[in-house]
Amino acid sequence: MDNIISRLAKELNLGANQIQATVTLIDEGNTVPFIARYRKEATGGLSDDQLRELSEQLSYLRNLEQRKEEVSRLLTEMDQLTPEIERQLRATTTLQEVEDIYRPYRPKRRTRATMARERGLLPLAEQILAQTKSLLLQDLNAFVKPEQDVADTDAALAGALDIIAEIVSDDAEIRKKVRDLTYKKGVVSSSGASDRPSTYQMYFDFQEPVAKIVSHRILALNRGEKEDALQVKINAPEEQIISTMQANYIKPNSPTADLIAQAIEDSYKRLVAPSIEREIRNLLTEKAESQALDIFARNLKNLLLTPPVKGRVIMGFDPAYRTGCKVAVIDPSGKLLDHAICFPTPPQSNTEQAKHTLLSLIEKYQVDIISLGNGTASRESEKFLADLIKETSRPVSYVIVSEAGASVYSASKLGSEEFPDLDVSYRGAVSIARRLQDPLAELVKIDPKSLGVGQYQHDVNQKKLTEKLAGVVEDCVNSVGVDVNTASPSLLQYVSGITASVAQNIVKYREEQGLIKSRQELLTIPRLGPKTFEQCAGFLRIPESKNILDNTAVHPESYSVAEKIMTLYPLPELQRKSFTKEEIPKLAQALNVGVPTLLDIVTELKKPGRDPREDLPSPMFRTDVLELKDLKPGMILWGTVRNITDFGAFIDIGVHQDGLAHISELSDRFVHSPFDIVNVGDVVKVRVLSVEPERNRIGLSLKGV
């Protein structure tokens, strides 16, 4: 374990004591959000992202140590564990290196080499490798045994060279050198052809160095290959590799050099090259998937933390053509007030009847904002709504929201449980309204993979994707906090320490006993014991409680400290006070609490019940419509960042076709990652660079605007 701690400290550039304390907390069953928020003194203030990275690395290194022990045991049982192999095993730092060491001893399927060994040709192979004398005809004749399927000297020599080829291919040092050379000097190439325009056109004659190829291209090549649209391979520096392999085995003035060279060339082409190519393709894919997962996670985090539109009556508008546009009106608490259907879009185009329906709903329920889904028929619907707004007697604006996943929710078990008597087609309109009102509370009901903020999300390891996104949702939910009396089971089960069954028990308790009045009352809920309470209490908000602390992120374990602070500084005074750098450490010492915890408590007391999302950019409210034909290069517009990839940002400028600001157009300075400049949900000013209506493409720039 000491080795793991020291390696983690080195790789993550953290102190060994910091790592040790964090590992202990993880092993004790504490969740990442709990550790990040309430154990800052122990971890040195590690963020949830840092803690998740540490946890992943910890898991990898423990698996590595476990595999080392397993290989050591297997080699001991085979009586093959020498002091040298034991030393090599101890020195390995990756699972690949461990497998390279074990490779020569791993049980194999029958190969040309194993059959040659069975025919008694190993001594001949060893004689050739010894390189002490020339191979004479009588040496070969000694191994000719027709009864063992060695018909002549050619067969004997061929079998011996097969054995040498396999020995070389199983050599861990050789494999490492070949892998390094292939990675550093190899070239990824792809080819393909099509009579029609293809998504993979740019890859029909493509080459890029292995060491430089970017993640999204790797995933695109993988997808093209899977769809039989591309042939992908790695072109390695073959001559240099074979020369390096031969230099490792052939001694100066070797009398059997030609034979060994022949075996090594065969070893590389038949055994080593295909295997190393698979390994490097897997390595590239893993790195590309990791990058894609990180991009998806960051986009999802920013989407989930979009500021809620509170205290407004919202109309959700789910656009469609033939089947009609579905409308749902919700009150400021998210309760469904009414729903309707209208047909302002083709083929019916019954705009007058649709206006009458919507204007009646707007007047009856005093609608403030229309939340318009951006799917099919959205452009025509926006034009209709922009005209409608001009005829309303009250100020109404509209916001275009992504409707990704709304249909998934509509047909889900959760959707039918929430609205058992509402037709499935109207549930999407409710979701579209609610995701403007409180994006986090609504979007947690939908599989994150369906939210449309990823890059090649269907091509990456689905288990890793699910784990990564669950971690993001968990961090977002806990950073905002959850009202225990209004939260759905979907939201509650992402709270630190709360399982799906405990979430259901909380809802059931509310339904049977009424509103929960204090955090202490949580302990009376079935299966919510002391450990779960410790993990979840600080993240659950209870506005109805008589204790103001129950509606803050102050953990019950720190209530005594918070109460002492409020005794020293009554709330009105505390909320106005600015502590000096000298005052905080003195106060922390006097209260016997860590400085990070004290600062968190003071921050909470200054704004009890504060929503951290309030500091982020608000959605863009529109009252008029812009169309693609209205765009001209040079125009300056405002837009909302909808998605971010390796190569740039997709920005909604209100024409129902997101424009692309390429990474080179995000800033006047060099941009390493688009996330250095923008995040999903950001409202940005852009310049139109190009408009291609026939290809539905819009080029944008953030430079100099």
> Is 240's pLDDT higher than 90?
yes
Q: What is the pLDDT of residue 610?
A: 83
Q: Which residues contact 569 (CB under 8 A, 6 or more apart)?
A: 577
Q: pLDDT per residue over 682-697, tens digit each?
A: 888 899 999 988 878 8
Q: What is the pLDDT of residue 694?
A: 80
What distance lies between CA 182 and its chain's CA centroid? Answer: 28
Q: Are 662 and 699 in contact (CB under 8 A)?
A: yes
Digit-coded pLDDT (tens) for 432-462: 999 999 999 999 998 888 887 776 777 888 8
Confidence grade of residue 93 (pLDDT, cut at 50, 70, 90): very high
pLDDT value at 631 more than 90:
no
Burial 300-328 (b: 16+ CB within 10 A, else e): bbbbbbbbbbeebbbbbbbbbbeebbbbb
- Give the chain's domains with CATH numbers: 2-105 (1.10.10.650), 112-295 (1.10.3500.10), 314-453 (3.30.420.140), 500-615 (1.10.150.310), 628-701 (2.40.50.140)
Rounded CA gap, 653 and 620, in Å? 10
In whole angstroms, give the CA distance from residue 487 to residue 515: 12
What angle (nearest 5°) sits at the alpha carbon of residue 106, between those of residues 102 and 112? 125
CB 209 within 8 A of CB 193: no
- The arithmetic mean of pLDDT across residues 324-332, rounded, is 96
491-517, pLDDT tens digit by residue? Answer: 999 999 999 999 999 999 999 999 999
Q: What single-letter amino acid sits at 632? A: K
What is the distance between the alpha carbons of residues 389 and 624, in angstroms, rounded to a whole number?
9
pLDDT > 90? residue 657: no
pLDDT at 515: 94
Distance between CA atoms of residues 61 and 83, nearest Å: 23
- pLDDT-wise least confident of 97-101, 347-351, 644-648: 644-648
pLDDT of amino acid 556: 97
Task: Give mean pLDDT, residues 262-287.
Answer: 96
Structure tokens at 466: 């699910």
With b for 16 or more beta-carbon neighbours within 10 A and e for fewer, the 457-485 pattern comes to bebbeeeebeebbebbbbbbbbbbbbbbb
Instruction: Tell me what the mean pLDDT of segment 155-175 comes to.
Output: 96
Q: What is the rounded distance in angstroms from the CA atom of residue 73 to the CA atom of residue 80?
A: 10
Q: How far apart are CA 472 and CA 460, in angstroms?
A: 17
d(Cα 16, Cα 2) in Å, to the nearest integer? 9
- Give the separation between CA 425 and CA 436, rounded to whole angstroms: 19
pLDDT tens by residue, 110-124 = 999 999 999 999 999
Tokens 């059997």 belong to residue: 256
User: Residue 271: pLDDT above 80?
Assistant: yes
User: Which helix (H) or strand (E) is 636 found in, with range?
Assistant: strand 636-645
The pLDDT of residue 245 is above 90: yes
Q: What is the C-alpha separation between 644 and 293, in angstroms, rounded?
A: 12
The distance from CA 459 to its chain's CA centroid, rounded to whole angstroms, is: 12
The reported pLDDT for the residue numbered 659 is 92
* DSSP secondary structure of 92-145: --SHHHHHHHHGGGS-----HHHHHHHTT-HHHHHHHHHTSSPPPHHHHHTT-B
Give the number of other CB atoms < 10 A from CB of residue 270.
15
Distance CA 197, CA 204 (A): 11
Write out the DSSP string of 39-92.
-HHHHTS--HHHHHHHHHHHHHHHHHHHHHHHHHHHHHHTT---HHHHHHHHH-
Residues of the chain by 3-state class (helix, strand, coil), percent to 5: 55, 10, 35
* Cβ contact 367:328 at 8 Å: no
Of 116-130, 181-195, 469-483, 627-641, minimum mean pLDDT range: 627-641
Return the top range by mean pLDDT from 188-202, 261-275, 563-577: 261-275
* 372's tokens: 């318009």
Q: How confident is the model at residue 609 (pLDDT cuts 50, 70, 90)?
A: confident
Beta-carbon contacts of 468 under 8 Å, excluding residues fewer than 6 positions away, are 293, 296, 297
The band of 626, judged by pLDDT with boundaries at 50, 70 and 90, is low
Any idea which of 160-169, 287-296, 540-549 has the lowest mean pLDDT? 287-296
Closest CA to 441 of 497, 374, 486, 502: 486
For range 176-185, the mean pLDDT: 97
Per-residue pLDDT tens over the stretch 27-57? 999 999 999 999 999 999 999 999 999 999 9
> Given pLDDT bands bounded at 50, 70 and 90, which one contains residue 625?
low
Mean pLDDT of the chain: 93
Residue 235's DSSP bridge partners are: 187
Measured between alpha carbons, how far is residue 206 from residues 154, 189, 190, 192, 222 in Å?
43, 5, 5, 9, 13
Task: Report the alpha-carbon angle 383-377-348, nearest 5.
Answer: 85
End-to-end CA distance of the chain: 54
CB 39 within 8 A of CB 539: no
For residue 611, with 0-12 CB atoms within 10 Å meaning exposed, 13-18 middle and 19 or more buried, which class applies? middle
pLDDT value at residue 70: 97
DSSP string covering 298-334: HHHHHHHTPPP-TT--EEEEE--STT-EEEEEE-TTS
Q: Which pLDDT belongs to residue 31?
A: 96
Between these two residues, 612 and 85, which has the higher pLDDT value? Answer: 85
Looking at per-residue pLDDT, the higher value among 652 and 626 belongs to 652
pLDDT at 322: 93
pLDDT band at 637 (very low <50, low <70, confident <90, very high): confident
The Cα–Cα gap between 75 and 272 comes to: 23
What does the CA dihedral 284, 290, 295, 301 come to, rounded to 10 degrees? 170
Alpha-helical runs (H) found in 581-672: 583-591, 595-606
Instruction: Say whether pLDDT at 624 is over 80.
Output: no
- How many angstroms separate the Cα of 326 from the Cα of each of 222, 378, 432, 436, 469? 39, 12, 10, 16, 30
Q: Which of 366, 175, 142, 334 is nearest to 268 (CA)?
A: 175
